[in-house]
Amino acid sequence: MARQSPQRPDSDEPVLDDSAASGTATSTEATRALWAELRIDPVEIALPAGTGYTLRAYRPVRELTPTDVEERDQDDPFLARRQVVTEEDDEQVVILDEEVAQEFAESDDEERRARGDSGDEAEADSAESTDDADDEEVPVFLSHKGRLLLFKTAESLVSFVRSGAPNDLSQLDGWGELSERVEPADVTPLDEDTYELDLVVENLRGGHDAWDSTLLIEAGEIARDLSYALRLPAVLEMLSAGSSLDDLDEALRAAANGGIGAFRGRRRLKKIGAQTASLGWRTIVGKISAVVDWRD
């Protein structure tokens, strides 16, 4: 097929500039090469209070020093007792989020007993996995003293990275190089690194037919990463394997994968209460929001 000639100057349609398109593609490739080389990625997270950028990496657990949460917990000794207020059927209900976590834990214990699972088997499995624990890659974020640093603009994030201010990512080998090379234009998260936690509760409250599998699955992924990296044990427990919210995640994945598994996944989803799921996720989003340090 013959190559089309550029539009005449008097045309209303824009002239396609091949050199500009090529330059944009080259710039995008260079940006992705930077993040791939240093094994650090920009992340965008939307929470009820707003949307911000941060950074995330995965490294073997033996290479990382966990974030220090002592100061965070001293500043807010009642962090685990913050109240979550929900409004259901025009009635205001106040629920302590640790009680929600306990309710999920008790429900999960009952389910395990019903399946015939024993604690001895769980302990044996844990012992077998100890040898590989040091090699497991775990998440670490741009955080400091147990608080996630979220930046409202790419410029403010880059300014912080270049400032030399203390943070949990500075222990990584590539941090110094990133601080020298990163530019605001590089802070462009991929679609899979963009998370909308602000939409999760409302989506769940819409009922089974309205549930957005991609939204909810991705929310589970970032919540697990954040709860591990920021040391939020109550959130980890609510999303742990075999928990009610983990069952929701597995059913959503099965339904999204198609085939006979999708049929079974949809049947499992029908058995999960929308109100229970939304209440659990409201607690999770609240706990994550409580440890965010917003930066302009």
Query: How is residue 1 written in tokens?
Result: 């097929």
Q: What is the pLDDT of residue 274?
A: 85
Structural domain includes residue 20: no
Q: How many domains is the chain built from?
A: 1
Helices (H), the chain: 18-38, 70-75, 97-115, 119-129, 154-163, 175-181, 200-205, 213-229, 233-238, 244-257, 259-270, 274-290
- Amino acid making up residue 164: G
Structural domain includes residue 282: yes
Structural domain includes residue 203: yes
C-alpha neighbours within 13 Å on the C-beta side of residue 270: 6
Q: What is the pLDDT of residues 202-218, one digit of tens each?
A: 999 998 889 999 999 99
Structural domain includes residue 185: yes
Domain interval for residue 146 = 35-119+135-295
Phi, psi (deg, nearest 5) at residue 149? -90, 115
Structural domain includes residue 257: yes
Structural domain includes residue 54: yes
Counting Cβ atoms within 10 Å, is residue 239 exposed (0-12), middle (13-18) or buried (19+)? buried
Q: How far apart are CA 59 and CA 68, in angstroms?
A: 18
Structural domain includes residue 23: no
Handedness of CA 226, 229, 232, 235 (dihedral sign): positive
Structural domain includes residue 243: yes
CB 53 within 8 A of CB 157: yes
Angle at CA 83, nearest 5°, toward 79 and 84? 120
Q: What is the pLDDT of residues 101-160, one digit of tens each?
A: 555 555 555 555 655 655 555 555 555 555 567 789 999 999 999 999 999 999 999 999
Q: What is the pLDDT of residue 88?
A: 44
